[in-house]
């Protein structure tokens, strides 16, 4: 085999190895939904970001509620939910509800929060869990189907349980399909490895 052929074969092997590595550690998938926030002094548009990192070794599926003008308006106790040890997230967890034709799916989950690095005026509430694992968040996003009409996120204030943020996101068939395309790789069970064949 000539030198040129050897180099070509080596290039093919290296390329295949890199492609397999990229496949095993795929880039996170992301989708942004736009909704309306109620229960604050100035009602406004908010965003719900769905994130899926399908890596079976430490990947996560996440929901992030992005509230604009949070720092300037200070119309909620955002600071009580900031950081992993925030008092607000443990005492008043986020309540998420998936509504559809003749059914509702609901769960509560402690939320952490932070001010966005891209826009310091925006506060982000976040929920996450490991991919390919059972859990409340996985159950919720897995339950989004053709019968679903809304996702609702409620966040009660730390010192006043009667005061709360309520963000509502409408779902239509094209949006539902985009959600499925984004999160299915994270909420399905991890593929089982085939047992190695014993050598005789």
92 lies in some domain: yes
pLDDT given at position 110: 84
Over residues 157-162, mean pLDDT: 80
Which tokens is 14 given? Answer: 């290296």
More confident residue, 51 or 13: 51
194 lies in some domain: no
Distance CA 110, CA 107 (A): 10
| Residue range of the domain that includes 159 | 26-186
10 lies in some domain: no
What are the angstrom distances between the C-alpha of 65 and each of 21, 24, 33, 111? 32, 28, 10, 10
- Out of 35-39, 81-85, 90-94, 133-137, pick the least confident: 90-94
Count of domains observed in the chain: 1
200 lies in some domain: no
Alpha helices in the chain (DSSP H): 3-24, 70-73, 87-91, 136-142, 173-187
Q: Following CA atoms 76, 115, 83, 31 in sequence, which dihedral angle do they give, to the nearest 10 degrees?
A: 100
pLDDT of residue 22 exceeding 50, the answer is no
Burial label, 85 (beta-carbon count in 10 A; 0-12, 13-18, 19+):
exposed
178 lies in some domain: yes
129 lies in some domain: yes
47 lies in some domain: yes
Mean residue pLDDT of the chain comes to 83
55 lies in some domain: yes
Distance CA 111, CA 99 (A): 21
């Amino acid at each position: 085999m000539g030198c040129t052929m050897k180099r070509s074969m080596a290039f093919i092997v290296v390329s295949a190895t890199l492609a397999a590595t990229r496949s095993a550690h795929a880039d996170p998938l992301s989708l942004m939904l736009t909704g309306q926030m109620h229960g604050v002094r100035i009602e406004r548009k908010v965003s719900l970001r769905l994130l899926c990192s399908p890596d079976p070794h430490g990947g996560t599926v996440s929901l992030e509620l992005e509230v604009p003008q949070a720092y300037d308006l200070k119309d909620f106790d955002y600071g009580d939910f900031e950081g992993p040890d925030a008092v607000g997230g443990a005492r008043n967890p986020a309540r998420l509800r998936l509504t559809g034709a003749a059914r509702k799916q609901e769960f509560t989950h402690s939320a952490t929060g932070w001010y966005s690095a891209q826009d310091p005026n925006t506060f982000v509430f976040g929920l996450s869990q490991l991919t390919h694992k059972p859990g409340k968040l996985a159950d919720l996003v897995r339950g989004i189907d053709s019968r679903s009409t809304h996702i609702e996120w409620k966040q009660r204030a730390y010192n006043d349980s009667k005061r709360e943020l309520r963000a509502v996101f409408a779902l239509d068939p094209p949006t539902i399909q985009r959600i499925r395309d984004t999160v299915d790789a994270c909420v399905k069970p991890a593929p089982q490895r085939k047992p190695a064949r014993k050598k005789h």
